[in-house]
Structure 1
Amino acid sequence: MASAVVGERREHPTGEELELPDDLPVRKRHTARMVWFAMGAVAAVGAFQFLQAADDATDRPIGTYIARSMVPIAEPSISAFGASGEVKLAFALPAQEFSYPLDVHGDPTALQYAWIRVGDSALATAAQPLTGDKVSAPPQAGFYRLTLLKSGQRRSVEGLTLAVLVPFTEKEKGMLRGYRIGTYLGERMRGRTPPPEGFLEISPADVDLPITKHLKVGDFLNHDQQGKWPSYSAINPKLLDKLELVIQEIARWHGDKAVADIDIDVHSGFRAPEHNRRVQRAASDSQHQYGDAADVAIDANGDGKITAIDSRMVGLAVEIVELKHPDLVGGLGIYTSGHSSTNYVHIDVRGRRARWRGGG
């Protein structure tokens, strides 16, 4: 039997052409199939969208939880590095609350902090809530790095080391933990410069620790040849900042191209009073005793030699730095001679202007 197609013209036995009507059962069957197919497709799309929405609804809370439970990346704020941007050492007394400005890149909710000794991996202090820029220093002297903690994870904050000082009040009869410091004029006479608040406690492992871009802890050791460890030293962070600014000024004269290549040789950093009184021609109340001064040599003209010209150039850089940063004003002594070892510059941050010249 021949099949019929809707709308097909067929020949009648009488010879007439007849058009099949649209309401034949075959059309109804085709139409029904199309309707059911369309409904099935719509249902499938709807089911897919529902499942996808359900998956999204499931994924979002999990992703949010993971993000919130991670320790965010953090770094010291630019203000923590001084005007030069190159000071890498902060100072505090044991258990002292101090400002440690942080830039936190992430969710700070439930964030905690602790301290780790430099060269170690174990926590040196218990975790404490981090609620602002104020943190508490460890109770023991030494060098530390800040670590952030959250949900059992931790992340170290790089770039800034904390030096917890041994308080000056621990000094007894000129001795600090078995190390001879001597006596400051301010301990015997009123109106003199007060002694430093505290001292860095330095072990042999700390000597090469960077404290600025160009300076390390060993540059400020007391050269008294006591042969005792730990050694002790006082350093004023303003001095570190000033020295780096002087180097930056010299680099500017060279088009900033050689700032990383400029070397600074510290002839004398900290001098304890006991040592200072044995140094020839040293002032009785020398700024070196307070960590406020350094005698340095810099090859300012880049010719590979240290000459009187270099000392004068460094002196000019100091003058410019003090004009730009009045809070760093201090003493400037230019020492020149025909011998490279006696061409150097004394730089300090005593808080008032002082100028002098010396020879070898």
Structure 2
Amino acid sequence: MADLDERRVRLRNTLLQWLYVELLAGRSKSAPTPQKIMQHPGCSVSDITWDELSDAVDDLEHDDYVRRGRRVGRGVPQLALTTEGQLAAQAVGGQQVREATEAAARKDPNITIGRDGTVTIIHGSPHASVGGGSAPPPTKHDRRMLIVGLAGLLVAVIGVGITIIRWSPWDAANETVPTTVPVTTQPPPLGQDSVTTAPPPTGPRETWYNLVEYTASGWANGFNSVNSIRIGVSRRTFTGSIVGYYQSGLDVQNDRATWTVGGACTKLSVWVGKDADSSSSEGVGRFFVRGDDADIHVPVEKSMTDAPEEITAVLSGVGRLTLLDTRALSDARNAWGSPRVMCTAPPGAKR
């Protein structure tokens, strides 16, 4: 199992590197194949199958690193790296990634490398368009920046008009000297994402926390945390997961864990189903998500013939979060894949 997980991580990282090199070569959307990935100089995974490549794409999409495009032939559709995906690819690195980045920066003034190694690709660069063609159409961010700039310009015009009226000769006798200097803003150059006029965010920043990595305030004997688990008929792998293996019901809750989130979390994401490596393939497991002892999501039922299903729930205002499942003694084990919460503070002490 450990070798399988390491192979999956290496394939995922190689796919990130390959997509990033494709982006720097002027192809913002590319359709990977096992052959293309294995030919990547940094690839250390051999005999890649279509199923393995599809799992790697699912992993990157789950982490918001890629967006899917249209499908070309069989297999994986065209993929485009998100901003988060570009940063992740830079972090993974690799000799070819560094060489491709430096080469692209020498050719294109719209690609810059900061002193800390951060790479910035500005819209309008041929490396930010498909096949080196025309620049991409304005994004939502571009339109927001244009609106912010025009609003700032309007405020400046109104401010100048008010100043003229206040300083007019017919009102000079009642003139009051202003104690503050008016602030004017100028619209940013169109098409440049690197220009930001919005004020910096205030307050704690939300981020994802994997529940398995934090101490629960209550943990029943039927739950066990695992590094990874394969779920359902698709046998999809999830890291940082939980398996429920005791006989458990609503009266005797052996498969249960509770975290004190204290109202600091807003969202839960977890994949549920049957442990594909169970010795038994029988039974139906029921999965409950509760906030302060009340169900906050409709219970989900899963058998071994079902694919894993993602449960998402709103946690705003929830003080205690509970994951609970039920199963018969002879049933296949229940699985909670990669349970994580979006919070402004950790959901407990680090384990």
Bucket of the pairwise TM-score, normalised by the shorter protein: under 0.3
Structure of higher CA gyration radius: 1
Q: Normalising by structure 1, what TM-score?
A: 0.23
Which fold has the larger relative contact order, with Cα–Cα distance below 8 Å and residues 6 or more apart in sequence? 2
